[in-house]
Every structure is written in C-alpha cells, then in structure tokens.
Amino acid sequence: MSTDLEIRIAAINWLNEQIKIHGDVLPSKKLEEEIEFKGSRIPLVSPQGIFKPRQMELPLSITTTPHGPYEDSIDKNDYLLYKYRGKDPQHRDNVGLRKAMERNVPLIYFHGILPGKYSAVFPVFIINDNPSELTFTVAADYEHVVVESEFVLSENEESRRAYITSQVKKRLHQRGFRERVLAAYRSQCAFCNLKHSELLDAAHIVPDDEPEGTPTVDNGLALCKIHHSAFDQCIIGVTPDYQIKIRTDILEEIDGPMLTYGFQKLHDQKLILPKSKKPGQTRTNLTGGTKKSSRPDPQKHKTLKFPAILCIRN
C-alpha cells in the first residue's frame, strides 16, 4: 500500500474516532490538531480549502467555510460543486484535485456549519472537472467507511453516488440547522430557558414535510426535548406576539410539579427570542425573515411563519 493511501486511511480512522467523541459536528480546534503517522505529524485541514500535506502525493481534504451560500454549492443533480483555488486551472491545488479525480482517490470534505464548527463527509470523490465554471463536481460515498485499497467506479456506482450525495446534502443541511438555531437562541429552550444543549433540539415551526418548512433559522425554535414534543403535539403553542399558550385541558389538569412548572406556569409568558446579530439588525426571524428591526414589529406579524397557535384547541 502506498504511503499516500496509508495516510488517507489513518486520517479517516482518526476522524471516525473523533465523531464518536464529539458527534457529527466537529470543533475546528480539534481538526487543526495534527494526527500522528509513523513519527511525523500530519494536519488534515487547511484554510486554503484544497489541502495536501507535504507527506502526501495528492490532496487529502477539501473545505468550505461556513459563510458560503449553501445552495450555490449544489448542482442540479444534487452533486456538490467545489470551487477551484483561484482562477487558474493550472494552480497546483487544482492540478492536484484533477489528479485525484483521474485516479479516483477518496478525499475528506469538511463542510463549515458555523464559524469553528465543521461536519466531515468521507470518502468523497471528484467526478468531474468544469473549467468553464472553475469548479469540480464532488460525489459523496458511504460515510465513515474505512477505505479499502481499490476504487473502481462502475456505472451502477455512479447512480449510487448520486443518491448518497443527495442524502448527505440533506443530512448536512439538517446538522447545520440544529447548530444555527441553537446558536441563535444562545443554546436555551425558547419556552423554559433550559440551557443544556444536549437536551435541546432545533424544532421546525412549519413542519419540514411542508414546502414552507425550510431548515432555516426563521423557521426554527430551540426547544428542550419535552417542549419540542409538546409543541409538535400542539400541547404548547405561541401567539404571533410571542406569548406562550398551553392547551386548555392541560391547563386545567391537576398533577405533579412537571405539569405545574413545565407547562402551566409557562402560560401567557413571553417566548425567548433569538438574539440579534447586531443592534438594529434582524432581531428575530420569527418576524418573517431579514427585517431590519431591533424589536418585533406588530405590523409584520401578518407575515409570521408561526402557525403553531392555530393548532391550540382552546
């Protein structure tokens, strides 16, 4: 086995270990650490995007930064489009990726979700070079597979890769959704203030099987597990002016402290709103998107993406 391939396998095994520890979203500090390989230290990622450690013959990883518009990096067939380094197709990084394509070499794709947080997808393969658009087409393969030494791409595998890539795209988008929503709500439940992110979900306001149910912050609420379920079950809802409402039968029920403090006492309380990025900017996407307002504008409430109260059967 070539050294190049040995390092690739070591890198993927190391990533699998990290994912076991940290979950699907990896802190960039972790990724900046070098892995140990036969006495030398090898970094896995570079801010330049296309990265080839000096010990290797071909690139090991490609990276997209968190602020790239996500949709732009996907082509009409759901493949990822990866931008050339600069505009010169003959830049050594671009030449390296082209060689990786010709030899069908597995790469690692680091997808930036938020500053400092990445999801790793591997193995991925470069399947097309598009010089006129200065991009490479990238297909994902089974995630977290330990790489074998042979990579032969048959026609069947091509359609399999298209399918896997579109699944990976969905999953990345979902992962990004949770991270972005929790960050917007400062990692607390919008109903009860609970601040344990391990107990928090990003709930869709409009369910994700509806066309309006996009995985975007304007359609997200950070909720603890119990309030997420209760929200989906219409036990708890929110009015357009952010007042929490508890369903009448639940309000009248008599039971222990969970019901009293977890639900009944929240009735008519204010929802905790997502933070604004800067004063005067989007105070909350609950007002329907990128409104320049430092406080919720009652006039905008008609455009709210907030149908939840409709399902409270008072």
Site string for Zn ion, 133-172 (x = CB under 5 A): ----------------------------------------
Q: Centre a 10 Å sphere on the Cβ of residue 273 and count the other Cβ atoms it contains.
A: 17
Place of tokens 């732009």: 72
Site string for Zn ion, 73-102 (x = CB under 5 A): ------------------------------
Nearer Cβ to Zn ion (136/191): 191
Which residues make Cβ contacts (< 8 Å) with residue 112, sequence separation at least 6?
63, 64, 65, 66, 67, 68, 118
How far apart are alpha carbons 314 and 311 in whole angstroms?
9
Which segment (17-25, 29-37, 223-231, 279-287) binds Zn ion by CB under 5 A?
223-231
How far apart are alpha carbons 175 and 4 in whole angstroms?
31
Give the nearest distance from C-beta 229 to Zn ion in angstroms: 10
219 touches 204 (CB < 8 A): yes
* Total of chain residues touching Zn ion, rule CB under 5 A: 6
- Candidates 83, 85, 111, 227: give the one binding Zn ion (CB under 5 A): 227
Residue 98: C-alpha distances to residues 15, 140, 164, 242, 308 (Å): 24, 16, 22, 53, 50
Give the nearest distance from C-beta 237 to Zn ion in angstroms: 14
Site string for Zn ion, 5-44 (x = CB under 5 A): ----------------------------------------
Site string for Zn ion, 182-221 (x = CB under 5 A): -------x-xx-x---------------------------
Nearer Cβ to Zn ion (159/193): 193
Give the nearest distance from C-beta 110 to Zn ion in angstroms: 32
Nearer Cβ to Zn ion (120/266): 266
Give the nearest distance from C-beta 222 to Zn ion in angstroms: 9
Nearer Cβ to Zn ion (58/224): 224
190 touches 183 (CB < 8 A): no
Nearest to 32 by CA among 43, 41, 23: 43
Distance of CA 89 to the CA centre of its chain: 30
Nearer Cβ to Zn ion (164/235): 235
Give the nearest distance from C-beta 250 to Zn ion in angstroms: 15
Which residues make Cβ contacts (< 8 Å) with residue 170, sequence separation at least 6?
none
83 touches 65 (CB < 8 A): no
134 touches 126 (CB < 8 A): no
Give the nearest distance from C-beta 275 to Zn ion in angstroms: 17
Nearer Cβ to Zn ion (126/203): 203
State the sign of the Cα–Cα–Cα–Cα dihedral 113, 118, 124, 130.
positive
Nearer Cβ to Zn ion (97/266): 266
- Candidates 224, 235, 244, 266: give the one binding Zn ion (CB under 5 A): 224
For β-strands 244-246 and 25-27, DSSP reports them as unpaired
List residues binding Zn ion (CB under 5 A): 189, 191-192, 194, 224, 227
